[in-house]
């Protein structure tokens, strides 16, 4: 009986997501298969207009496949029975690596700079998922900036007794301190154009014992979309 009590209970959301993934995959695979057959059909050559329509349909089908994959990832992150990888890495070093790879909003002259501690945030966790989560959060913040803005990803270490916490603030230079001291609000993860990357990112951070939030925006009661704070306990 003790062993049964120690086993995590199945998560209802995880089960629903898994069922949705299973149900979506078959029809999407069928549609994709027929589109490829139409393109290879030599008996009835396609006209230019038809080829363009099929190409657009294929893009939409590929987008659905991507969303199904993201639903599957959320199902895994919601399931307490699914364990994440445990690799040793420095969170701040990973953040700097991801920042160097992020090109979001370059075409609008938005710059991203890293600042603060370069190391000292030892973490044991899922490196691939953390890398993806940081990338999604950086892209989301950069998309919300005005043209030619400069965004800072600042790394800090805090201590509360024996607990050491890595804090990453992504905000405009003059908003970093306010983001750290303002009352935290829920991070707005419901944004178009990013798929399910933000809901996944939040769950990844939470599975590592951390949290994600936003400072208040100018609109009372709403979290800022252009700033985000990440905190994760580290060794």
For residue 42, give every residue at least 6 positions away whose Cβ sits within 8 Å of its Cβ, in sequence order, or none. Answer: none
Helix (H, G, I), strand (E, B) or coil at 220: coil
Distance CA 57, CA 67 (A): 15
What is the C-alpha separation between 94 and 28, in angstroms, rounded? Answer: 35
Q: Tell me how far apart the alpha carbons of residues 205 and 190 are, in angstroms, rounded to a whole number.
A: 17
For residue 33, give every residue at least 6 positions away whose Cβ sits within 8 Å of its Cβ, in sequence order, or none. none
How far is the CA of 47 from the CAs of 16, 53, 56, 63, in angstroms? 42, 10, 14, 24
Can you say how many angstroms the Cα of residue 71 is from the centroid of all Cα atoms in its chain?
12
CA 111 to CA 152: how far, in whole Å? 8
pLDDT score of 220: 56
| Structure confidence by residue, pLDDT tens digits, 138-169 | 999 999 999 999 999 999 999 988 899 999 99
SS3 assignment, position 232: strand
**Sites in the chain below the pLDDT cut of 50:** 1-2
In eight-state DSSP terms, residue 171 is: E
pLDDT at 138: 96
CA dihedral 25, 13, 73, 156 (to 10 degrees): 160
d(C-alpha 152, C-alpha 11), whole Å: 37
pLDDT by residue (tens digit) across 49-68?
A: 988 999 999 999 999 999 99
Gap between the Cα atoms of 145 and 112, Å rounded? 11
Contact 111, 140 (CB under 8 A): no
Out of 3.30.565.10, 3.30.470.20, 3.40.50.11740, 3.40.50.300, which CATH number does the structure's domain 87-234 have? 3.30.565.10
Structure tokens at 96: 């700097």
Domain ranges of the chain: 2-78, 87-234
């Amino acid at each position: 009986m003790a062993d049964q009590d120690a086993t995590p209970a199945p998560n209802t959301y995880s089960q629903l997501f898994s069922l949705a993934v299973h149900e979506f995959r078959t029809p999407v695979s069928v549609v994709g298969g027929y589109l490829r057959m139409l393109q290879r059909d030599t008996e009835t050559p396609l006209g230019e207009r038809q080829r363009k329509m099929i190409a657009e349909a294929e893009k939409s089908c590929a987008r659905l496949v991507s969303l199904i994959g993201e639903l599957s990832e959320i199902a895994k992150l919601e399931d307490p029975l699914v364990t994440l990888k445990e690799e040793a890495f420095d969170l701040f070093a990973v953040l700097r690596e991801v920042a160097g790879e992020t090109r979001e909003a370059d075409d609008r002259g938005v710059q991203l700079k890293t600042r603060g501690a370069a190391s000292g945030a030892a973490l044991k966790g899922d490196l691939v998922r953390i890398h993806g989560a940081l990338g999604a959060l950086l892209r989301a913040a950069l998309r919300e900036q005005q043209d030619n803005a400069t965004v800072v990803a600042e790394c800090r270490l805090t201590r509360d007794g024996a607990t050491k916490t890595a804090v990453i603030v992504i905000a405009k230079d003059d908003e970093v301190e306010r983001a750290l001291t303002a009352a935290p609000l829920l991070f707005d993860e419901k944004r178009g154009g990013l798929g399910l990357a933000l809901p996944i990112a939040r769950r990844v951070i939470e599975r590592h014992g951390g949290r994600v939030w936003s400072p208040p925006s100018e609109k009372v009661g709403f979290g800022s979309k252009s700033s985000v704070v990440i905190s994760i306990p580290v060794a």
